[in-house]
């Protein structure tokens, strides 16, 4: 067992955190701030999914693809012409890797020496009746938090085990840009990476069993599907996967559409059909810890597992798999473990984002979820061609949809599809958190010629036709 810091003199830690990603570091730092002696146990590359293989590498590659598209789309302004292409794929990938290395060092590795209350232990961990075993050595601990994250899931497609499929991790490590690519799965990862690779120059077919972003509003899903098709992606939805094989240097995926089988071929296949919690090897069930139906560690609203003194947070729980929610839940878990379980996890105003172009963002209840919850709802849909910012940018792709309680006018949720939409969603999150009504949002002062002004206009659309208003008249 190796560590970077000196462990407690009696060899016992107040808290052990198993998993050294964003959730693990959040829990460990929070506990150290409380004066606890913490064992942070990591196995593999320190930093977890977000910085190493998820958020950071994918978003920098997506931004690079947006730069290409921005040049090519310059002709939407009269008098402009532009063109761009990938000149050196390996240089782009190397720059991505350098960014990842820099952030991993600065935001994870270097932090360990700044927190003397944290001892970092490198090794595979498992639970025992006496504590936690790391590399075969049992370490007694007061309480523990499981934060081991999740990994790309293997889909149930006959033949998939015999095909060298790409995951969201390995796709971002490719040293050569594939000429053609099938992306399996229409969730946020599939949509983001499909568009990115298409803009980089690959011929992309995006396939999904239902529709793109199935948890988004149907209006948002349908509009995004159209925009991706306009860019040349072949989007195939509402189908069933029958089998997949590799032959003659290509991958062949057979799907069924309307009762007819069809075979799609490409150089490579990228699978983005979800992520599975990393619970293997921890001996959780052997020690009385219940798992949820999705395979994650079952927890209550205070981050407690079914075993006293053991908590879990982040993607390993199988819920709210966003890095900021992992860090938030882990902080609560640490505080509850040390201070008496007084804090409750609250995701009612949890914003979520998808980095396609246009971007997608939402918070609160969708129309369907609000109806299912028993609300009498009213909705407002504002197309971006009613937003001055979009008109001035000559890019009116997108819409805003708001959901409110028809009786009280209180906002229940909303979604944004816009080129700059993700930076506007926090305003709506705050509106929901404070219990704001649609009328109050519509009366709030917003700066002119901003994307976020679309929220005000959408709120006003509940009661009036904003096309009949002059600029800023509302």
- In tens digits, what is the pLDDT along the chain, a chain of 474 residues? 444 445 554 668 999 999 999 999 999 999 999 999 999 999 989 999 999 999 999 999 999 999 999 999 999 999 999 999 999 999 999 999 999 999 999 999 999 999 999 999 999 999 998 889 998 899 989 899 999 999 999 999 999 999 999 999 999 999 999 999 999 999 999 999 999 999 999 999 999 999 999 999 999 999 999 999 999 999 999 999 999 999 888 999 999 999 999 999 999 999 999 999 999 999 999 999 999 999 999 999 999 999 999 999 999 999 999 999 999 999 999 999 999 999 999 999 999 999 999 999 999 999 999 999 999 999 999 999 999 999 999 999 999 999 999 999 999 999 999 999 999 999 999 999 999 999 999 999 999 999 999 999 999 999 999 988 887 656
User: Do residues 146 and 165 share a domain?
Assistant: no
Number of domains into which the chain is organized: 3
Do residues 16 and 41 lie in contact, with contact meaning Cβ atoms separated by under 8 Å?
A: yes
Q: What is the CATH number of the domain that holds 308?
A: 3.50.50.60
Give the span between the Cα atoms of 32 and 116, in whole angstroms.
Answer: 8
Pick the last residue of a domain from 273, 304, 330.
273
Give the span between the Cα atoms of 444 and 350, in whole angstroms.
Answer: 22
User: Do residues 295 and 381 share a domain?
Assistant: no
Do residues 241 and 155 lie in contact, with contact meaning Cβ atoms separated by under 8 Å?
A: yes
117 labelled ligand-binding: no
Please name which of 384, 64, 93 lies closest in space to residue 192, comparing C-alpha atoms. Answer: 64
pTM to 2 decimal places:
0.95
User: Do residues 137 and 284 share a domain?
Assistant: yes
- Give the contacts of 452 (CB within 8 A, at least 6 positions apart): 423, 424, 427, 446
Give the span between the Cα atoms of 381 and 359, in whole angstroms.
Answer: 17
pLDDT at 261: 97
Q: Quick check: is 71 in a domain? A: no
Give the span between the Cα atoms of 211 and 216, in whole angstroms.
Answer: 10
User: Do residues 263 and 282 share a domain?
Assistant: no
Q: What is the residue range of 100's domain?
A: 13-51+92-152+276-339
186 labelled ligand-binding: yes
Cis peptide before 358 (omega within 30 of 0): yes
User: Do residues 282 and 148 share a domain?
Assistant: yes
188 labelled ligand-binding: yes
pLDDT at 9: 46
Give the span between the Cα atoms of 244 and 154, in whole angstroms.
Answer: 13
401 labelled ligand-binding: no
User: Do residues 164 and 96 share a domain?
Assistant: no
Q: How many CA atoms does the CB half-sphere of 305 hold within 13 Å?
A: 25
User: Do residues 42 and 107 share a domain?
Assistant: yes
Torsion-angle region of residue 303: left (phi > 0), alpha (psi -120 to 50) or beta?
A: left
DSSP code of residue 154: P
414 labelled ligand-binding: no
Give DSSP secondary structure letters for 272-301.
Answer: -S-EEE--TTS-TGGGT--B-TTSSBP--T
User: Do residues 130 and 189 share a domain?
Assistant: no
H or E element at residue 145: strand 141-146
**CA 442 to chain CA centroid, nearest Å:** 30
Give the span between the Cα atoms of 57 and 51, in whole angstroms.
Answer: 7
Q: Quick check: is 81 in a domain? A: no
Torsion-angle region of residue 292: left (phi > 0), alpha (psi -120 to 50) or beta?
A: beta
User: Do residues 254 and 113 share a domain?
Assistant: no
Do residues 272 and 187 lie in contact, with contact meaning Cβ atoms separated by under 8 Å?
A: yes
pLDDT at 468: 87
pLDDT at 10: 60
pLDDT at 3: 45
Do residues 189 and 206 lie in contact, with contact meaning Cβ atoms separated by under 8 Å?
A: no
187 labelled ligand-binding: yes
82 labelled ligand-binding: no
User: Do residues 209 and 316 share a domain?
Assistant: no
The angle subtended at Cα 410 by Cα 405 and Cα 414, nearest 5°, is 80
96 labelled ligand-binding: no
262 labelled ligand-binding: no
189 labelled ligand-binding: yes
H or E element at residue 18: strand 13-18
User: Do residues 133 and 211 share a domain?
Assistant: no
DSSP code of residue 420: T
Do residues 67 and 84 lie in contact, with contact meaning Cβ atoms separated by under 8 Å?
A: yes
Distances (CA, A) of 56 to 43, 109, 355, 359: 20, 16, 12, 17
315 labelled ligand-binding: yes
- Give the contacts of 152 (CB within 8 A, at least 6 positions apart): 167, 168, 169, 271, 272, 274, 275, 276
Q: What is the CATH number of the domain that holds 400?
A: 3.30.390.30
Pick the last residue of a domain from 247, 273, 299.
273
pLDDT at 7: 55
For 188, phi then psi, to 5°, come to: -65, -35
pLDDT at 473: 59
User: Do residues 142 and 17 share a domain?
Assistant: yes
Report the 10 Å Cβ neighbour count for 372: 10
């Amino acid at each position: 067992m190796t560590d970077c810091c000196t462990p407690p003199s009696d060899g016992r830690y107040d808290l052990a955190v198993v998993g050294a990603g964003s959730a693990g570091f959040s829990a460990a730092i929070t506990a150290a701030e409380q004066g606890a002696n913490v064992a942070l146990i990591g196995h593999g590359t320190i930093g977890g999914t977000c910085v190493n293989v998820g958020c950071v590498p994918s978003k920098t590659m997506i931004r690079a693809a947006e730069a290409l598209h921005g040049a090519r789309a310059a002709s939407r302004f009269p008098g402009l012409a532009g063109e761009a292409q990938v000149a050196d794929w390996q240089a782009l990938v190397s720059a991505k890797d350098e960014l990842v290395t820099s952030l991993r060092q600065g935001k994870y590795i270097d932090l360990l020496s700044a927190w003397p209350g944290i001892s970092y232990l490198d090794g595979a961990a498992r639970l025992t009746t006496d504590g936690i075993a790391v590399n075969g050595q049992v370490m007694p601990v007061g309480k523990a938090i499981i934060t081991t994250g999740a990994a790309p899931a293997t889909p149930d497609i006959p033949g998939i085990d015999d095909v060298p499929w790409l995951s969201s991790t390995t796709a971002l490590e490719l040293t050569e840009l594939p000429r053609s690519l099938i992306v399996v799965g229409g969730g946020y990862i599939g949509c983001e990476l499909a568009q990115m690779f298409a803009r980089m120059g690959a011929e992309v077919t995006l396939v999904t069993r239902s529709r793109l972003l199935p948890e988004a509003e149907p209006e948002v899903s349908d509009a995004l599907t159209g925009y991706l098709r306009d860019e040349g992606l072949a989007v195939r939805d509402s189908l069933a996967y029958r089998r997949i094989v590799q032959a003659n240097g290509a991958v062949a995926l057979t799907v069924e559409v309307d009762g007819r089988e069809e075979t799609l071929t490409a150089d490579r296949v990228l699978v983005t059909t979800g992520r599975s919690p990393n619970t293997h090897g921890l001996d959780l069930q052997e020690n009385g810890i219940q798992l949820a139906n999705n395979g994650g560690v079952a927890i209550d609203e205070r981050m407690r597992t079914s075993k006293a003194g053991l908590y879990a947070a982040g993607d390993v729980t199988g819920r709210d798999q966003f890095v900021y929610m992992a860090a938030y839940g882990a902080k609560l878990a640490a505080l509850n473990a040390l201070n008496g379980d007084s804090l409750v996890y609250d995701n009612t105003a949890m914003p979520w984002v998808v980095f396609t172009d246009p971007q997608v963002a939402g918070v609160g209840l969708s129309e369907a979820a609000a109806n299912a919850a028993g609300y009498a709802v009213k909705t407002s849909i504002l197309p971006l061609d009613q937003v001055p910012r979009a008109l001035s940018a000559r890019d009116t792709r997108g819409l805003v949809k708001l959901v409110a309680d028809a009786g009280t006018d209180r906002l229940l949720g909303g979604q944004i599809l816009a080129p700059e939409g993700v930076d506007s969603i926090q305003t709506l999150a705050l509106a929901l958190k404070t219990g704001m009504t649609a009328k109050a949002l519509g009366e709030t002062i917003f700066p002119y010629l901003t994307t976020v002004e679309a929220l005000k206009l959408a709120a006003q659309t509940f009661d009036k036709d904003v096309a009949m208003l002059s600029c800023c008249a509302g």
